[in-house]
Chain A
Amino acid sequence: MKFVPLFLMLFLVAAAASAGQPRAVDTRLQEVQRQMVGVRQISGTFTQTKKLEFLKEPVVSHGRFFFDKPGTLTWEYVSPAPSGLKMENGKATVWNGPPEARVTQPGAMSRAAKMMADQVMMWMNFRPRDIQAAYDVGIAGENPLTLRVVPKRDGLRKYLKSITVALADDYRTVRSVTLEEDGAATTLDFDDVRFDQGPPRGMTE
């Protein structure tokens, strides 16, 4: 579920500031949609901190991502354990290991990755109607502006309880994205987010 918040960030980048009412949420989502028009590519790096109920210490990992509209996504963990997925033409490929010793994962893993990537794509191809069909969207706080979305479908709720996104003060970047799962909370901190500048340096093609 770590992929989902990335694209929450994308719509939040340009999110408007005001209101906490449902109607205000609609307005804000529409504003984001307007501001996303014309964006073809998004790239950046992230730090992921995963707190598991049954792990004494959180697991911290680092990685980078690149999205090329309409449907190409690369999401790559660099450390501590290199792994990643690439979604292209509706097919997902998952790998483990460093580039020189990459092992492609079997179909079951790819199917799971595809499902995750599909969720990401939904956010990336930002359409408020799609988002609001899949999630209940609400404003959880104002300073900083924080959105909380809850999956509507039972299937998705089995994996993900909610996503909380805190915006930076300038509303251009995301301060943090937290995914609440059953017995786990994953926080993603994004950095060096760029638009229409190709994949990040060093990203595996």
Chain B
Amino acid sequence: MSVSYTSVGWNRHKRLYDAVLAGAVGAYLVVFYAAGKLFFRPPGSFADPVLLIRALGTCALVMLHVVLWIGPLCRLDRRFLPLLYNRRHLGVCTFLVGLSHAALVLGFYHGFGNVNPFLSLLTANTAYGSLSRFPFEALGLAALLILFLMAATSHDFWLANLSPRVWKGLHMLVYAAYALLVMHVVLGALQAERSPVPAAILAAGVMVTAGLHVAAGTREARTDAGCQTQSCSDGFVDVGSVDEIPENRAKAVCLPGRDRIAVYRYGGKVSALSNVCAHQGGPLSEGKIVGGCVTCPWHGYQYLPGSGRSPPPFAEKIATYRVRVEGRRILLNPEPLPAGTEVEPAAFEEPRA
């Protein structure tokens, strides 16, 4: 969290993440290049620039797969959450590797003629009606433009100025970029391949990516559909017992047709907040109380449980809900209060040790 503009709020975790990322990219390029030299000897060998073009292209595609796997993996297993913390760094790095691939392609294949390289790229082949001769470069260029748009707006500055809803919608374009890149490879590099192995690897990557997202989405839908609550006469609903919630943790309450609510238990009290973090929509019910504040599991944004406001000097706020405890049952009013509204936490007797 930050109240003023900083390019990157560096900390130990981010430095380590980026160092591992840079090392992995460097190692991939070296191994790909060395393997290309080792296994493809003349007459089937590739020129060095072509080998580098392929190394950068495959590296960017592998990185995009990893970017797309992180989200559903975190939904399916909380142990992947540390990968989510700096996913944007991975996304920006993916764009830079893809840009290097494109720059090399432009220079190597289009830079030595008497036509502007960009013009050459876009006009040399216009066989859009043919699958086998499709100008696959256009697909890669479109995907690169989307990745650029995402990298350029990845900073929290843009998130705050565009609003989380617009920002999220913009960044969901990554799925279009992924589809474009898959077809870029299918109609480009794979057209020259006689071996089925590259096609099989790409197909496996697509199946894993789509499978993870569909599995995570199905699980979320089942969670939404499986919620059972009992209504009371005064508009409150029984959402369970305080004993179901570990200390300093929360329970996600799903009500039909509504967004989820995070019900937190802490120090003999219960508070209810919107489950959606104001930053990137992280699931607050999967976070915990740290230093007296509800802490989002994605990027550590914090809120006071009684008001839904971030502690000063931060200004984020989320909706709160009226809640009370009868016996050990938690009763919740499902009508959200305006974001940042102070609500008295419901107190209950902690059992004696």
Are A and B physically bound partners? no
